[in-house]
Amino acid sequence: MNVNDTEVIFSILERAGYSRTEKMEEADLVIANTCSIRDNAEQRIWGRIEVFHQLRASRPGLIVGIVGCMAERLKDKLLDTHKVDLVVGPDAYRSLPRLLEAVRPDAPQIDVLLSRDETYADITPVRTDRNGISAFISIMRGCNNVCSYCVVPYTRGAERSRDAHSIVREACDVYQKGYKEVTLLGQNVDSYLWKSEIETVTFANLLERVAAIAPDLRVRFATSHPKDISDEVIYTMAAHPNICKHIHLPVQSGSSRMLALMRRKYDREWYLERVAKIREVMPDCGLTTDVIAGFCTETEQDHADTVSLMDQVGFDWAFMFAYSDRPGTLANRTMQDDVPANVKNRRLSEIIDLQNRKSLERYRAQIGKELEVLVEGPSKRDPGMLCGRASNNMMCVFPAAGRSKGSYTTVKVVDCTSATLICE
């Protein structure tokens, strides 16, 4: 999501006459696009700001800007203690050129207003990816859920869905430029809903419209919320071969007591039922998840419930985090971050170990299968080989043998690690 926001920012700045440099030492303006989701994401940025200041010492006049969620959350600290020149929140990127005009050494500029309707629908992002094959498209901004641990609703504001036609236009545009895959992005894509005077477009409708652009344009999406992923979406995925069979379905915890405290609005049984439905309709669908270890009051039994859910579902892959108390969230205001750091970390290692074993099992189960992959380019580990993802999102490496980037090819899985399928 932040990558896509950065692409929107590049577009706004290009229109205002700025051009991009690959070398930071050459820049007249350095902007860091920031994330506040966990404390360590913010800590890294404080370190980066020091680097920018050192750069400014040797390059007077350099403008240092902080944009994104940290700008929204920590505007005063950024301006007063860290002396940055520009602080701009996620809904205020259009004001960047105006603010940059006004920046002076003694007059930093700030705009952190959140909006109810900004979706940057008319701005064509300047793609920053290198492969030219796979593009991200934001379909909505903000979030209307209030998961008690999460800072997103405070830093990115209320949920709003982007004009469906502008999304389809952008997907057509990238396809015409040679891209073969689009990933539709939102914090909770299943609650996408766009209405005009003559039509109402749900997420399932939107998926169909994007899938209809071309049979060789793959469609992916993230993130699905377990409480909202509907049968309609599952059947729409199944009906279109070019909608990739992969769902990122963050569970957060396997304990219904924890899920209630987290305000996720589903319980363990609901989650398992959704997984069963997905697998009934699409037996080969890839499933990945996010898990938080050590949320407020989590007991050994709650943790054991998470372990057993992960064991039972068998995710292909998971992002796993120790709970990080975020100022201003409901948990921060009303609960105690009472699981000691060593216990959080031990639980986190246990779920990581389990997931590594599960990933290996899931990848091994692919051996012998034939999969269609979209060729992305040379493999990072072995530039003599190519790599590309299967529909289920598993990364495959295979011999180059005359295949070109952006083409589809069918490979046979002969071996694997816990994160890569080795193919012929």
Q: Contact between 274 and ligand SAH (CB under 6 A)?
A: no
As measured in angstroms, the least distance from the Cβ of 251 to ligand SF4 is: 11
**Residue type, position 326, single letter:** R
Residues 136 and 3 sit within 8 Å (Cβ to Cβ): yes
As measured in angstroms, the least distance from the Cβ of 375 to ligand SF4 is: 33
Query: How far out from the chain centre does Cα 334 lie?
Result: 28
Contacts 24+ apart (CB under 8 A), 226-229: 226/250, 226/251, 226/264, 226/266, 226/270, 226/271, 226/274, 227/264, 227/265, 227/266, 227/270, 228/188, 228/190, 228/191, 229/190, 229/274, 229/278
- Using CB under 6 A as the binding criterion, the count of chain residues that bind ligand SF4 stands at 9
From ligand SF4, ligand SAH, none, interface partner of 344 (C-beta below 5 to 8 A by class): none
**Residue type, position 92, single letter:** A
- Member of 6, 188, 202, 255 binding ligand SAH (CB under 6 A): 188
C-alpha 356/C-alpha 342 separation (Å) is 21
From ligand SF4, ligand SAH, none, interface partner of 115 (C-beta below 5 to 8 A by class): none
Peptide bond into 223 cis (omega under 30): yes
Q: Which residues within the stretch 10-39 sit at the binding site for ligand SAH (CB under 6 A)? A: 37-38
As measured in angstroms, the least distance from the Cβ of 151 to ligand SAH is: 7
Q: Contact between 161 and ligand SF4 (CB under 6 A)?
A: no
As measured in angstroms, the least distance from the Cβ of 144 to ligand SF4 is: 8
As measured in angstroms, the least distance from the Cβ of 229 to ligand SAH is: 11
Q: Which window, 89-97, 177-185, 317-325, 409-417, contacts ligand SAH (CB under 6 A)?
A: 317-325
CB nearer to ligand SF4: give 186 or 406.
Answer: 186
3-state secondary structure of 389: strand
Q: The tokens of 13 are what?
A: 């700045």
As measured in angstroms, the least distance from the Cβ of 347 to ligand SAH is: 13
Q: Which residues within the stretch 307-336 sit at the binding site for ligand SF4 (CB under 6 A)? A: none
C-alpha 316/C-alpha 284 separation (Å) is 11
As measured in angstroms, the least distance from the Cβ of 224 to ligand SAH is: 8
Q: Contact between 223 and ligand SAH (CB under 6 A)?
A: yes
Q: Contact between 35 and ligand SF4 (CB under 6 A)?
A: no
As measured in angstroms, the least distance from the Cβ of 25 to ligand SF4 is: 36
Q: Contact between 145 and ligand SF4 (CB under 6 A)?
A: yes
From ligand SAH, ligand SF4, none, interface partner of 38 (C-beta below 5 to 8 A by class): ligand SAH
Q: Contact between 149 and ligand SAH (CB under 6 A)?
A: yes
Q: How many CB atoms lie within 10 A of CB 273?
A: 13
From ligand SAH, ligand SF4, none, interface partner of 326 (C-beta below 5 to 8 A by class): ligand SAH
- Member of 30, 152, 237, 309 binding ligand SF4 (CB under 6 A): 152
Residues 34 and 69 sit within 8 Å (Cβ to Cβ): yes
**Residue type, position 413, single letter:** V
C-alpha 182/C-alpha 315 separation (Å) is 23
C-alpha 203/C-alpha 221 separation (Å) is 10
3-state secondary structure of 186: coil
CB nearer to ligand SAH: give 65 or 250.
Answer: 250
Q: Which window, 111-119, 129-137, 319-327, 401-409, contacts ligand SAH (CB under 6 A)?
A: 319-327
C-alpha 17/C-alpha 14 separation (Å) is 5
- Member of 225, 268, 347, 389 binding ligand SF4 (CB under 6 A): 225
Q: Which residues within the stretch 251-270 sit at the binding site for ligand SAH (CB under 6 A)? A: 252
From the list 308, 312, 309, 321, the residue with the least C-alpha distance to 352 is 321
* Angle at the Cα of 220 from the Cα atoms of 191 and 209, rounded to 5 degrees: 70
Q: What is the 3-state secondary structure (H, E, C) of 211-248?
A: HCCCCCCEEEEECCCCCCCCHHHHHHHHHCCCECCEEE
Q: Contact between 148 and ligand SF4 (CB under 6 A)?
A: no
Q: Which residues within the stretch 334-393 sit at the binding site for ligand SAH (CB under 6 A)? A: none
- Which class for 43: exposed (0-12), middle (13-18), buried (19 or more C-beta within 10 A)? exposed
Q: Which residues bind ligand SAH (CB under 6 A)?
A: 37-38, 149-150, 187-188, 223, 225, 250, 252, 290, 292, 321, 323-324, 326
Q: Which residues bind ligand SF4 (CB under 6 A)?
A: 143, 145, 147, 150, 152-153, 187-188, 225
